[in-house]
Structure 1
Amino acid sequence: MKERHYPQAPKHVYLFGTCLVDLFVPQAGLDAVRLLEREGVTVHYPQGQSCCGQPAYSSGNPEQAKQVARAQLALFQENWPVVVPSGSCAGMMRHHWPQLFADDAEMAALARSVSERIYELTEFLLKVLRVDYSDLIAADAQTEKVVLHTSCGARREMGTRQHGVELVDSLPGVTRVEHERESECCGFGGTFSLRHPDISGAMVKDKVASACATGCGKLVSADCGCLLNIGHAAAYQGKRLEVEHMASFLWRRVEQAGIGAAGDMTQKIEVAA
């Protein structure tokens, strides 16, 4: 994977919330905003955003994916980083948007320009904002053991597994436990789980069993699709395994340490039409 060169910390960023965050886990989006604003960044959230186009793209419908991507590209006109609380969606936006418009020079140039500003949340926190949670005071915070799950897109396209690992490992009072099937797909894969339910079900069963075998009761991931799949599968199997988005987990630990900014952080969000 090509080494990425990171800019200085900006004063403004866009947040691309993803459709799964918007529809199923909105708290993860709000907590991502809180983490960014804690570092003095103003977060802008274009209201016209919807989906990155990955479901259509991975289902073999590039024209539909282009229509979705085209609508998103028009939203990020300022030269600000676009932070995405999903490695899977970030991978689509950074690596596949330019490919979609290979036959359209003007749109391809725009897609490349935007794609170069796409960052997965943990990558942005660690490499651009250079956060350091190791100095947090955890005296009143509950100690926790957690296992991680990194989505296929985050691990193999964005290369952001290590960023999540470093952030979690830096948190006082948190112990990360590796499990046997951490590097494997959870079986969700967007429409894959619908087209191949038996295979998907077997994969997530293995994932849940591997996580539970560690004795940890909490699984953390930066991708909502994986979290929904793993969490519901665990509940269906009667396993005691809670799931939490990385943004919410990080913010909860920061807030418990008493270092977070005071007041309702969400009031600072700049909402663009």
Structure 2
Amino acid sequence: MSDTPRVALFVTCLADLFRPSVGFAAVKLLEEAGCAVEVPRAQTCCGQPAYNSGDKADARGVAEVAIRAFEGFDYVVAPSGSCAAMIKKHYPELFADDPVWGPRADELATRTFELVSFLTDVRGMETVEASFDGSVTYHDSCSGLRELGISEQPRKLLASMEGLMLKEMEESDICCGFGGTFAVKYADISNKMVSKKTGHVEEAEADLLVAGDLGCLMNMAGKLKREGKATRVRHVAELLAGMTDQPAIGEHKGTPAEKARVDG
């Protein structure tokens, strides 16, 4: 492998459809880490929604598209612990009895990483050049934490940012209540979980809430917005890349006058 690894960015559905800035931030960080980044056009979803709903047939079909799209790259990196875990942990399970796709799924799993863990654990990044004048609290998303062991890596890079103060919230490692299809199937339970989470966010008295999964971030941002809380929400990649010039998640993109009409 060359000193400039060829990295395929798995953009993820949520970043593509709701928050493209996360993808651009990931590209910036990967290039700063000395990688040549490409975004395969054939990529779609990782297949997790179908897989978690028990639809293994459709999950396999989607996974086969991803396996083909990401062949030939040194690494595959996703700005999402849940999507990275799907490929790294569950593709091998999905194709365990398949003599053709099984080895291809296993091989892809060895090359797949979540963004921040790739930057720190694989590329050895210890600092970022971005700065942030304010306080930040970090939410540990379930898949990243429990399936990939991501906890200290983002905190290490956040701590390297000039001006940033990290404020740990209580129960930062407890689920926010999103859980993909869980939030749809068990809406009342999900709402109670995210209410507890936003309470801890408020108690931390941080200016900004960050995490590594857009599903969690959109869930928490929506609840904070409905509760009238002041804490802003961003993906950790946006903050680490210094790309905080656009509205935070859940904030209106219009002019101040337009925003005032929407808010009230």
Report the TM-score when normalising by structure 1: 0.85
Q: Is the CA contact (8 Å cut-off) linking 1:15 and 1:44 kept in structure 2?
A: yes
1:119 aligned onto 2:109: no
Letter in structure 2 aligned against 1:26: P
Partner of 1:244: 234
Does 2:153 match 1:159? Answer: no
Contact residue 150 and residue 223 of structure 1 kept, 8 A: no
- Aligned counterparts of 2:4 and 2:139: Cα–Cα separation in 1: 29
Residue number in structure 1 paired with 2:71: 77
Partner of 1:261: none
1:221 aligns with 2:197: no
Deviations 1:87-110 (A, max 9, x none): 011111100001111121110000
SS of the counterpart of 2:49?
helix
Match of 1:192, as an amino acid?
A: F
Shift of 1:8: 8.5
Residues 95 and 233 of structure 1: CA distance in aligned 2, closer, same or farther (over 3 Å): same
Tell me how far 1:111 sits from its aligned partner.
0.0
TM-score (norm 2): 0.88
- Amino acid paired to 2:68: A
Q: Percent identity?
A: 39
Q: Which moved more, 1:164-173 or 1:12-21?
A: 164-173
Deviates more, 1:32-41 or 1:80-89: 32-41
Does the CA contact (< 8 Å) of 2:238 and 2:244 recur in 1? no
Relative CO higher for 1 or 2, CA cutoff 8 Å, sep ≥ 6?
A: 1
1:84-123 alignment runs, 5 A limit: 84-123=78-117
**1:37 Cα deviation after fit:** 1.1
- Which residue is 2:185 aligned to? 195
Question: 4+ residue runs of structure 1 moved beyond 4 angstroms?
Answer: 7-10
What is the aligned partner in structure 2 of residue 52 from structure 1?
A: 46
What is the number of residues matched between the two proteins? 245
Q: For residue 182 of structure 1, report the CA deviation from its aligned partner.
A: 0.5
Give, as a single letter, the amino acid of the residue that structure 2 aligns with 1:77.
E
Aligned equivalent of 1:185: 175
| Aligned AA (1:190) | G
Structure 1: runs of 5 or more not aligned:
1-6, 256-273
Three-state SS of the structure 2 residue aligned to 1:131 is: coil
> What corresponds to 1:129 in structure 2?
123
Superposition RMSD in Å: 1.8
TM-fit CA distance, 1:10: 4.2
1:182 maps to a residue whose letter is: S
